[in-house]
Amino acid sequence: MERAPVASINLAIVGVGKIVRDQHLPAVAADGDFRLVAAASRNGRVEGIDNFDSIGTMLAAVPSIDAVSLCMPPQYRYAAAVQAIDAGKHVFLEKPPGATLSEVEDLAARAAAQGVSLFASWHSRYAPAVEAARAFLAGTRIQRMRVTWKEDVRQWHPNQDWIWQPGGLGVFDPGINALSIVTRILPRPVFATAATLEFPANRQAPIAASIRFSDAGGLDLAAEFDWRQTGRQSWDIEASTDAGTMLLAEGGATLSVDGRVVHSEPEQEYPMLYRRFAGLVRSGASDVDLAPLRHVADAFMLGQRQVVDPFDD
Ligand code: NAP
C-alpha cells in the first residue's frame, strides 16, 4: 500500500549569516519534509524566496509559516523565539539555545503552553561517531577523560564581534560543542569542580578556559578550550577505561580504541538535525537539553578570572 503523502513543513529562517549559508540552506534543500518559504534578516538575503527585515514583519506577512529556525547570535534569540512561539510556530534554536539558562527555560514553558515544538539543537551531538562512543563507554569503567578543543579564532570567527560581547560565550562558543558531546556520551551526569577563564584585557568574553569536572564516582575529567591555537586544530575527547583508551577525534567524526579506528563515517550533522526537528514537529514533542549551557554557566560562576594579552582581529 502506498503511503499517503505528508504535507511538508513550511519553514522560515531568521538571521542569515555564516551558519545559514554553510549548513542550514543545503540541509533544508535536501530534506523533503521542509519547504523553505521565507527568511528574515537585517542584511542577509536568501535567493528565490520572500525576504523580510525582521521576524515580526515576516510572521505578519506569511501566515503559512509552520516553523522557524533562529540562527542569529544567542543574545538576540530569545526575543525572536517569543514572537515565533506566540504566533504558534515551531522553533529550531541554533546552539547555544540562548544567552541565559532562565530565558531558555521560559521558552520551553511558553512552547509547551502554546502546543508547539521547541528544539534546542546541539549539532555536534550528531557527529558520526558520537553514538558509537556513547555505546562504548556504557560498557566500561572510565578512569580519566580529557577534552581538548583548541582552534584558531581568527580562522573560524573572523569579524564576529558578538562572540566577544557578554552572552557571546567567547571560547565557549566552540567549547560548548565539546560539552554537548561529553554530556551525551557519559553514562552519568558530571559537575564542574574548578575552572580558570582567561579574558583578553580588551574583551568581555574568555579566549581560553580550563574546567575540571567530577561525578558521584569521583571521575577525573578535565577540559581545555583555547582559541589561540595555530597550525593543527584539536577537537578531541580521550578516555582511559578498563576496556582500552578511547579517542573521539575531529569533533566527533572518528572513534578509535587503542589506536585502531572503529567508527568513521561522512559528516551529516545538519541533515540529521533537520530529521530530528521534523520528527519533533510531527510528533508534537520538544527537545530542550540545557546540560551543555549549564556547565558553561557553572564555569563562569566557579571560574578564576585571569586577564591576558589584549586580542585584536
Ligand atoms: P554570524 O554570521 O555572525 O551571524 C548570523 C546572522 O545573525 C548575521 O549574519 C546577522 O544577519 C544576524 N545578526 C547579527 N547580529 C545581530 C543582532 N544584533 N540582532 C539580530 N540579528 C543579528 O554568526 P554564525 O556564525 O552564523 O552563528 C550564528 C549562530 O550559529 C551562533 O549561535 C553560533 O554559535 C551558531 N553556529 C555557528 C557555526 C559556525 O560555523 N559559524 C556552527 C554551528 C553553530 P543580519 O545582519 O542580516 O541581521
- Render pLDDT for 142-176 as a digit per residue (tens, 0 to 9): 999 999 999 999 999 999 999 999 999 999 999 99
What CATH number labels 9-120? 3.40.50.720
Residue 2 has pLDDT above 80, yes or no: no
Separation of alpha carbons 214 and 296, rounded Å: 15
Cα-to-centroid distance, 141 and ligand 1 (Å): 40
Q: How many Å lie between the centroid of ligand 1 and the Cα of residue 16? A: 7
Residue closest to 201 by CA, chosen among 69, 39, 311: 311
Sorted by sequence, the CB contacts under 8 Å of residue 108 that are 6+ apart come out as 118, 286, 288
pTM of the model: 0.97
pLDDT mean over 260-271: 95
pLDDT digits (tens, 9 = 90+) for 112-135: 999 999 999 999 999 999 999 999
Q: Is 2 exposed, middle or buried (0-12, 13-18, 19+ CB in 10 A)?
A: exposed
Closest residue CA from atom 10 of ligand 1: 15
Ligand 1 pocket member 72 (CB < 6 A):
yes
Q: Are 73 and 79 in contact (CB under 8 A)?
A: no
Q: Across residues 182-210, what is the average pLDDT?
A: 97
Stretch 46-54: mean pLDDT, rounded?
A: 97
Would you state the pLDDT for residue 5?
54
Cα of 76 vs centre of ligand 1, distance in Å, is: 10
Residue closest by Cα to atom 19 of ligand 1: 76
For a mutational test of ligand 1's pocket, the pick from 19, 94, 156, i.e. the residue with the most ligand atoms closer than 8 A to its C-beta, is: 19
Q: What percent of the chain has pLDDT over 90?
A: 96
CA of 266 to the centre of ligand 1 (A): 25
Residue 54, ligand 1, Cβ within 6 A: no
Report whether residue 43 contacts ligand 1, using a CB cutoff of 6 Å.
yes
Q: How confident is residue 1, by pLDDT bands cut at 50, 70 and 90? A: very low
Angstrom CA distances, 196 to 49, 210, 228, stand at 46, 5, 16
Is the pLDDT confidence value at 313 over 90?
A: no
Mean pLDDT, residues 279-307: 98
Task: Please report, for the chain, the start and end positions of each structural domain, with discontinuous segments joined by +.
Answer: 9-120, 124-267+297-308
In CATH, the number for domain 124-267+297-308 is 3.30.360.10
Instruction: Tell me whether residue 102 is exposed, middle or buried, using C-beta atoms within 10 angstroms of its C-beta: 0 to 12, 13 to 18, 19 or more.
Output: exposed
Choose the catalytic residue: 18, 89, 95, 150. Answer: 95
CA dihedral 123, 55, 28, 97 (to 10 degrees): 10
Does ligand 1 lie within 6 Å of residue 160's CB atom? yes
